[in-house]
Chains A and B, each alone.
Chain A
């Protein structure tokens, strides 16, 4: 049943740090977060961990476990041999605060740049009518728990700090796609996604999809359709012709 687990946990802060070795007793059915909590309670009271729900619903406890971006609360110890050492390091893409806690404010800044949802007016009875089939695409994207593992793994920003200013990352391509496909939204999100969020920098390697704990098909269902829609808009010959012939106010009609 229980056994002694060898762990290596990165400890330190913005000034630097190193992997530290621990041995901690663990029980059947436990997850990596349980082992770290036990370390906190018995050996390292000030070990910094960010966590909340411990059920894979809030997306707080993101880290890299044996090099792979994962939620600590959803990584069961039974995936590893009892003799195997489990190494836990903070997400690499974001600046370190302390130990396993990183500064994820990049994501919150990017969220501010997205123009708000702008719905059509409701029906006369004050209600909106949408069909289930039409809300389902957006619902897939709204399963996102904002764990930012997709952002962490995305190679456009993972080792390229300089790309961060122009690139919103997969989590926010998902948000653009969700709004673009929302049956009630009135904005055209395609240009925004391309110009402001850096959609074109993504070369669809699908790393984000692989690490998504909610199993959202980020690349196939959000990024690729968005890229296609951007292209449709940009290269549709009729739109091109329209943009040459009509005045601006008439042009909008042709495009929509």
Chain B
């Protein structure tokens, strides 16, 4: 075993396509790349099957029309764009809506067992922002079903998987190369370094939630792919848009932030304040007035008659609901533990709840001593998802760096300013496949060219950077710096923002980055979480700065970005993307026009209310 200071790189592998991440997007990309004939490897930080996709509960949005024949891709496209406050990359939203049904059916071909309709088709459930019941689901554990299906498919195809292996650098060809040549990483188990040589790398690393104090995200969500892309020369868009899921657990303290699925509301649950008022009727924004019920009677009729009634306001897009909950709590109408009530107990019978929401029942029973079939849940907003990510070509998932692809949460554009529930799992499938295919095509295209060669100095530099925390003496504990960063992001870059606080946050992040240059870790390189955190922390700092910078620049409120000092949505900003890139170690910010919606798609917004 290597000693603590040995930067020796003994292990090298050569592939056509290396996929970083083994959640829904990574696995789907790997399957696509493999099917296209590429020698494919998956490299992931955790064991196979543990990625964050497993936490997804509600379902996969796809306009299959199994319950509502009027549903089709155009309606789904429209819902997605409106949910994203029209800031979505229209082409991604279009491809997503068109291809999601085929991707769901494909999962069934690979063994997934979705809940069924009465005539034996895949059942679909209601969710916020979706006009029709559209989410293919398995109770409230759809993510588990999806990841297991993809995992089992990947295993049966014999795709190589490097588990518990963290990628820390994208390697380029030559000294100042502009093409991808591979990736550098370390085995978490041994701490040994490993180099992958590959002309195509697909980033499928998920999100950034671990930079926030209250989050539904696991330790893995440290913005690795965002930072890898940025440092490799690609750009990020939409980073100011962070989704706070309206319903996370608030009590006991140790479970604060853990997700409570939107299916609770989709299946009939309602939000109430401490006065017992169903307050969402007080928060229906102008933009959604025409399609939202304004009386309790109409809202309750909608569950069974969608033709003649409008959607309950509890099923507004997530940004609207999270802001409303935040406002109620601030106004002093919160619950004893600082949340509000989510009540399904008084609205549906116990059998229905246990059948439709088994894992929520289990989660509250075992972690909070609450029986959700008898009493309301206490919930509050939790950092859940980043809409922003690597700027990619809509059709191929290609970034601006040749050979570098991104798919899933790490890619930007698809969801605009706010993602609808259920659109994440379908995004993973649609764009995971596209990125995997195109990464394989790229590898095939460059096969006969001069082979890309890894710049050995860059490999040594990557190794030295990774080992730095062992060399430092008397430095700080990475856990303390992480905790302070989470506090800064929570209190200054959270759900409601102001210029003053964002400027303060940027100053704090700068100080934290200085502290993070002098970290000391205990022990040796073998399975050392302190060391792993010291490395991941650098990524967390990069993405935190990106979020704060973009949030400061966007002087309006839209979707997952709310400015107290600019509370209105600004038409001008509705045509602009904030694009971030790295220049000589610093973040560069540019404002670029959003691709314009073609006329035939524009018409979809005019013909319907």
Looking across the interface, which residue of chain B has its beta carbon closest to that of A183?
Answer: B113
Looking across the interface, which residue of chain A has its beta carbon closest to that of B64?
Answer: A127
Say which size band chain B's interface belongs to. 35 or more
Would A117 and B155 count as touching, CB distance under 8 A? no
Would B145 and A142 count as touching, CB distance under 8 A? yes
Q: Could you mark each residue 27-45 of chain A with 1 if its beta carbon is under 8 Å from any beta carbon of chain B, else 0? A: 1111100100000111011
Which residues of the other chain, A, contact B123 by a CB distance below 8 angstroms? 132
Instruction: State the Cβ distance, B265 to closest chain A Cβ, in Å.
Output: 19
Would B116 and A135 count as touching, CB distance under 8 A? yes
Tell me, yes or no, whether A227 is within 8 Å of chain B by CB: no
Which residues of the other chain, A, contact B521 by a CB distance below 8 angstroms? 45-46
Tell me, yes or no, whether A68 is within 8 Å of chain B by CB: no
Looking across the interface, which residue of chain A has its beta carbon closest to that of B53?
Answer: A58
| Docked complex: A51-68 residues within 8 A CB-CB of B | 51-60
Would B528 and A48 count as touching, CB distance under 8 A? yes
Would A44 and B115 count as touching, CB distance under 8 A? no
- Inter-chain CA distance A224–B46, complex, in Å, is 33
| Docked complex: A135-162 residues within 8 A CB-CB of B | 135, 138-139, 142-146
Give 25 pairs: A residue, B residue, CB < 8 Å, sorted on A.
A13-B526, A29-B255, A30-B252, A40-B479, A41-B480, A42-B479, A45-B479, A45-B523, A46-B523, A46-B528, A51-B218, A52-B218, A53-B54, A53-B218, A54-B255, A60-B46, A98-B527, A101-B189, A117-B156, A119-B111, A127-B105, A129-B120, A130-B113, A138-B113, A182-B111
Q: Which of B54, B155, B254 lies in contact with A111, CB distance below 8 A?
A: B155
10 closest cross-chain pairs (CB), A and B: A29-B252, A46-B523, A45-B530, A129-B120, A116-B156, A117-B111, A41-B479, A48-B527, A98-B527, A45-B522
Would B255 and A53 count as touching, CB distance under 8 A? no
Q: Which of B110, B189, B367 lies in contact with A55, CB distance below 8 A?
A: B367
Looking across the interface, which residue of chain A has its beta carbon closest to that of B523?
Answer: A46
Q: Which of A29, A47, A139 lies in contact with B138, CB distance below 8 A?
A: A139
Number of A-B contacts (CB under 8 A): 170
Tell me, yes or no, whether A208 is within 8 Å of chain B by CB: no
Tell me, yes or no, whether A50 is within 8 Å of chain B by CB: yes
Which residues of the other chain, B, contact A112 by a CB distance below 8 angstroms? 155
Which residues of the other chain, B, contact A241 by a CB distance below 8 angstroms? none
- Inter-chain CA distance A31–B524, complex, in Å, is 28
Binding site for B on A (CB under 8 A): 13, 27-31, 34, 40-42, 44-60, 74, 76, 97-99, 101, 103-104, 108, 111-112, 115-117, 119, 122, 126-132, 135, 138-139, 142-146, 179, 182, 185
Tell me, yes or no, whether B212 is within 8 Å of chain A by CB: no
Q: Which of B46, B108, B153, B363 lies in contact with A56, CB distance below 8 A?
A: B363
Q: Which of B50, B113, B251 lies in contact with A58, CB distance below 8 A?
A: B50
Tell me, yes or no, whether B168 is within 8 Å of chain A by CB: no
- Inter-chain CA distance A185–B362, complex, in Å, is 30
